[in-house]
Structures are given as structure tokens and as C-alpha cells.
Amino acid sequence: MNCFYHPASPAVGVCKYCQRGLCSECAAVVDDVIACRHRHEDEVHKLEQLAARNLFQSKRVASGYMRNAIFYGLVGVVFAGFGLWQLKWLGLQAVMFIMLGVFLLYAAGANYFEGRKHK
Ligand SMILES: [Zn+2]
Ligand SMILES: [Zn+2]
């Protein structure tokens, strides 16, 4: 493959934005990848930034789900446990606590699986 802009010069790399061959004169290194010098440097930089940001976001989302799962799980166990413990004395009110606890445990499970999906 030869340079797209200089057909006589052999290409040393390919622009990440337009996939054209570039000689050593035309190749610019942006964020560790090759771009057309003065043509696609900005575009490649934006592409790389976008990719890095997506990676960071999906990581943050996954850990957020896990944190929610742990929080809901703990609160759910406390509520359900309290309800079971107080069932004899509080009756219907205790059943409400148990139901709330079960709901929170369900939410914890949903968050846990959602978090695993984003890993
Ligand atoms: Zn290019
Ligand atoms: Zn060239």
C-alpha cells in the first residue's frame, strides 16, 4: 500500500478516521493511533475520547448497580428480618415490613443482574 496523498511513497500506517494509507510525512500520531496530518487529527482525537469515555461510563454504571444491589439487599434483609421477628406482636404491620423487605431483595437481585450485564 502507498500513501493516499503521495502515491509514490510507501504507507507506514492507516488513518483511523478515513482508513487511507499514509506515508511518514502524512501520518500524525494522535492518542497512540495514526491520523492524516492536518486533516483528521481532530476527528481521530474525538473518536479516541469518545471510546475512552464510553469505557469509563460502562464501568461506573456497573459499579453503581453493584452498590445499589448491596444496599437494597442489606436493607431488604433488615426489613424482612424485622418483620418476621415482630410478626407475633405487630401483625399486619409486620407483614408490610416483610413485603417491603422482599421487594428490596428483588430490587437488589435486579440491580445485581443489570450490573453483571454491563461488565
Ligand atoms: Zn484520515
Ligand atoms: Zn503522504
CA of 10 to the centre of ligand 2 (A): 8
Ligand nearest to the CA of 19: 1
Q: Mean pLDDT over residues 76-97, rounded?
A: 92
Identify the sign of the CA torsion 63, 69, 72, 74.
Answer: negative
When pLDDT is cut at 50, 70 and 90, the band that residue 33 belongs to is very high
Asked if residue 20 and residue 69 are part of one domain, the reply reads no
Q: Among residues 41, 37, 34, 38, which one has the least CA distance to residue 19? A: 34
60 and 34 share one domain: no
State in Å: Cα 10 to ligand 1 middle.
Answer: 16
> How do 21-22 and 27-30 pair as beta strands?
unpaired
| 50 occurs within a structural domain | no
User: What pTM was computed for the model?
Assistant: 0.52
Domain count within the chain: 2
Q: Which ranges in the chain belong to alpha helices (H)? A: 41-90, 92-117
Query: Among 61-65, 104-108, 112-116, where is mean pLDDT lowest?
Result: 61-65
Range of the domain at 13: 1-39
9 alpha carbon, closest ligand: 2
The closest ligand to the CA of 15 turns out to be 1
Domain co-membership, 73 together with 98: yes
In a domain, 12, yes or no: yes
What's the Cα-to-Cα distance from 39 to each of 5, 42, 76, 105, rounded to whole Å?
Answer: 11, 8, 57, 54
Going from the Cα of 7 to the center of ligand 2, the distance in angstroms, rounded, reads 7
Q: Tell me whether residue 49 is in a domain.
A: no
Query: Ligand 1 centroid vs 6 CA: distance in angstroms?
Result: 14
Asked if residue 64 has pLDDT above 90, the reply is no
Q: Are residues 60 and 111 in the same domain?
A: yes
45 part of a folded domain: no
